[in-house]
Amino acid sequence: MSIGGVFTAIVIIGGVGLLIGIILGLASMVFRVAVNEKEEAVLNALPGNNCGGCGYPGCSGLAAAIVSHEAAVNACPVGGERTCNAIAEIMGVEALTTVRQTAFVACRGDHAAAGVDYEYTGVMDCRVQRFVPGGGAKSCQYGCLGYGNCVKSCQFDAIHVQNGIAAVDKDKCKACGMCIGACPKNLISLIPYAAECAVGCRSQDKGPATSKVCTVGCIGCGLCKKNCPAQAITVTDFCAVIDQEKCTGCGLCKEKCPKKSI
């Protein structure tokens, strides 16, 4: 190929590249999406875990919702009070009171307390147990199965299976709520971090039936309710429930519970 041909090829390629560059530059100007500086600031204030605990599709979704006043400044459960205060300052509003929460597993039926009907050696997945005879090897049909679906869902290493049941590390838990949806038994809920009393059972069987399968299961005797000075406890479907907003943490319910379910 002659020098002239090489030069011509270079000019053509360079011209095409320049033309494409100009077209892309014009396109970026025409189709440019305006950046909401306040939304960017809120996004930067969020922790960036994209856990979905706020109910929105990641931190960017929550930031957009906060700026458009669809979500409160304290909507991020992971960021806590510090994040709430930072976002409130960006939004120019008063910071809302944020009560730190933690996940709680309503089951105390570990290997020592709860019975089993047979030895299970199949897939270690809680959701699979619905297809297993009896809903799993555990004698209590309401108890934690201990196969760790909640553990797998936690981004913060805050929940582990210990002696056959899930246990939450309160100091690591960010209250994102992902473990709640992961539990097919609906045993996990969010309670105040400072809560002193919570019922570690969800059995809906009568007392004798519950005692037969678990030594620490709530039998619905009502002694906790009768001795609660704050009237924070009700017994529904043979199981005690504590209203954390009313509970003063006096501990009388724990003292009076004959099964130590609280």
pLDDT in tens, 155-204: 999 999 999 999 999 999 999 999 999 999 999 999 999 999 999 999 99
pTM of the model: 0.79
SS3 of the chain: the string is CCHHHHHHHHHHHHHHHHHHHHHHHHHHHHCCCCCCHHHHHHHHHCCCCCCCCCCCCHHHHHHHHHHCCCCCCCCCCCCHHHHHHHHHHHHCCCCCCCCCEEEEECCCCCCCCECECCCCCCCCCHHHHHHCHHHCCECCCCCCCCCCHHHHHCCCCCEEEECCEEEECCCCCCCCCHHHHHCCCCCEEEEECCCCCCCCCCCCCCHHHHHHHECCCCCCCCHHHHHCCCCCEEEECCEEEECCCCCCCCCHHHHHCCCCCC
pLDDT in tens, 19-73: 888 888 777 776 665 567 888 999 999 998 888 888 888 899 999 999 999 989 9
pLDDT in tens, 112-135: 999 999 999 889 999 999 899 888
